[in-house]
Amino acid sequence: MQTKIAPSILSADFSKMGEAIKMLESAGADMIHCDVMDGSFVEPITFGGQMVRDIRPLTKLPLDCHLMVEHPKTQVGFFADAGADIITVHYKACRKISKSYLAETLELIKSRGVKCGVAVNPDVPVEKVFDLFPLCDMVLLMSVFPGYGGQKFIPEVLEKIRKAREYAATIGREETDIEVDGGVTLENAAAIRRAGANVLVAGSAVFRSDDPAKTIGGLRG
Ligand code: DX5
Ligand code: ZN
């Protein structure tokens, strides 16, 4: 599978978001990773559907919306209307509401013609979401605890990537995207790809680089 690089606009200067989107597109990004935070599921607040709506006309690249929010089902409509191509919700935010909430949310995303994904934190065994693999277009394995860019990659997640890729193959879902988010750098990207991830999110590695195109190429291998 071709490795896709999804730079996170969490690391952009929000006062110049339009320029950031243009820069990422010309630097060869495959998707734009939009880190949505609500100040409750995670401490910081970043942005909502309006940011996605405003950047939508600036790029043809898929907008990969990572909802680090409580009650994510309530947000699906806003992001689908805004033009999101992928909406990923957190296992932890859904499971606290009810057993069926996560599957219902994934179904709702799909019903809007948007790709759906489930995200698991570093401390959640990936087996917890195996039952949802048949529903998911993507599985997001957090390699940091969500909330902040610029954190260090948690190497124990490599084993989870292997398990996720193996399980997807076992159930005949080879095309499932396995996305890794948090602390991805030029130093660890090869190991992350070898473990089986095919979508790499990178915020600080791209935005702190003096040559984003070279960095994106390097992350893609
Ligand atoms: C955490 C965010 C970050 C971001 C990537 O909640 O999801 O992981 O996307 O940040 P870097 O690449 O700077 O670790
Ligand atoms: Zn993210």
Per-residue pLDDT tens for 54-108?
A: 999 999 999 999 999 999 999 999 999 999 999 999 999 999 999 999 999 999 9
CATH fit for domain 4-220, picks 3.20.20.70, 3.10.129.10, 3.40.640.10, 1.10.3210.10: 3.20.20.70
**What's the farthest any 2 CA atoms get from each other in the chain?**
46
Per-residue pLDDT at 122 = 98
Catalytic choice (13, 30, 35, 123): 35
Q: Where are the domains of the chain?
A: 4-220
Pocket test for ligand 1, best of 5, 9, 11 (most atoms within 8 A of CB): 11
Sequence-distant (6+) residues with CB within 8 A of 129 are 91, 118, 120, 136, 139
The reply to whether ligand 1 has any atom less than 6 angstroms from the CB of 182 is yes
As given in the structure block, the two tokens for residue 14 are: 């929000």
pTM, to two decimals: 0.98
Per-residue pLDDT tens for 141-153?
A: 999 999 999 999 9
User: Which three-class secondary structure string do you get for 150-205?
Assistant: CCCCCCCHHHHHHHHHHHHHHCCCCCCEEEEECCCCCCCHHHHHHHCCCEEEECHH
Which of 180, 185, 213 has the alpha carbon at shortest distance from 197? Answer: 180
Per-residue pLDDT at 1 = 85
CB 125 within 8 A of CB 165: no
How much is the average pLDDT of 117-140? 98
Distance 142 CA to ligand 2 centre (A): 8
Side-chain-side CA neighbours of 95 within 13 Å: the count stands at 11
What is the rounded average pLDDT for all residues in the chain?
A: 98
